[in-house]
Amino acid sequence: MALASGAKIIHIDIDPTSIRKNVRVDLPVVGDVKNVLKEIIKVLKEEKGQWDPVRNSWLKQIEQWKKDRPLSYHFDKKIIKPEYVVEKIYEITKGDAIICTEVGQNQMWAAQFYKYDKPRQWLSSGGLGTMGYGFPAAIGAQMACPDKLVFDIAGDGSIQMNIQELATAVINKLPVKVAILNNGVLGMVRQWQELFFKERYSHVHLDVIPDFVKVAEAYGAVGLRATKPDEVEPVLRESLKIKDKPVFMDFTVDWKEKVYPMVPAGASIDEMIFEEEKKKTGKKLKVVK
C-alpha cells in the first residue's frame, strides 16, 4: 500500500522501535510528541517568513480541491438522505453542539456534513472503530457539560450495542439527543460488499430491527420518527424542547446511500473513488487517480 508517495515523511514517536514500522520515514524524531511539537512551533515562528509562501501555496491547492470535488449529495423530495439529517442538525444547533458518533456510515456523514466551527465538539471512535461508542460518550459529554447540546449521530446497528444505557440517561435526566440514521443495514459493510464483492451480501441486512420510538418510550425517554424529508426539521426542533430526558429520533433514510469519497483496500490516498465516477461507468467502479 502506498502512502503519500511523493511526500517526505517525519515520524515522531516516543518509542524508537516503532519508527519505520509501517511506512518509509525520511526524518525520524524520537521524543514525547508534546515536547517535539512545541519545539517545531517555536522554530516555525522564528522562520515564519521562509515558510509563508509554502503554506500559502498549500492552502491555495486545498481550496482548489474543494472547488473541484466539493462534498455533496443528491437531495430527494421523497426519501430522507442521511447527509440531509446531519446538515439539519448543524443548522438548528447553529454549530454549537457536541457531536458524538457511533461507527460506520453514520460516523463518516457526521464528519463530512456537520461543520465543526469550534474545538472539542467531536467525540468519535476513529482508531478502533468501536460500534456502540457514541451513546455512552454522549452520556458522558452531557454529564460533563450539562448546559451544552449533545447529539449522538448513530446507525441502527451501532445504537443497539449499548441501547440499554437509555436507563442511565433517563435515571440521570440527561437530555441527550440520539439521531438514528435508520437504513436497515450495517451500512459501511454493505457498501464494501456492493462495491468490491459484486453485491454478494453477507449478514448485513438487519431483518429484525426494534421500533426505536417504542424502545425509547419503554425506558421512559422520548421517541420521535421522521419518514419524509419535510419531517426531519420538525422532529429535530421538537427534540430541542426536551430538557430532562433523552430523545431517540428514528430517521428512515435511503438504504442505498453510500459514503464518498472512499479509498479501496490496498489503494493509496490518490486512488480514492468519487461518486460521479460510478455514474460515468455504470456498475463498474473505476479507481480515480
State the average pLDDT over residues 113-140.
95
State the average pLDDT over residues 177-194.
95
State the average pLDDT over residues 161-169.
97
Mean pLDDT, the chain, rounded, equals 91
Which grid coordinates belong to 68? 473541484
pLDDT category, 271, cuts 50, 70, 90? Answer: confident
**What are 13-38's pLDDT values in tens digits?**
999 999 988 888 999 999 999 999 99
**What are 49-93's pLDDT values in tens digits?**
888 888 899 999 999 989 988 888 999 999 999 999 999 999 999
**Domains of the chain, with CATH numbers?**
10-68 (no CATH), 82-252 (3.40.50.970)
| Under 8 Å between Cβ of 67 and 50 | no
Q: Is the pLDDT of residue 280 over 60?
A: no
10 Å CB burial of residue 243 (0-12, 13-18, 19+) is exposed
pLDDT category, 283, cuts 50, 70, 90? Answer: very low
The pLDDT assigned to 183 comes to 96
| Rounded alpha-carbon distances, angstroms, from residue 68 to 261, 264, 277 | 13, 21, 14
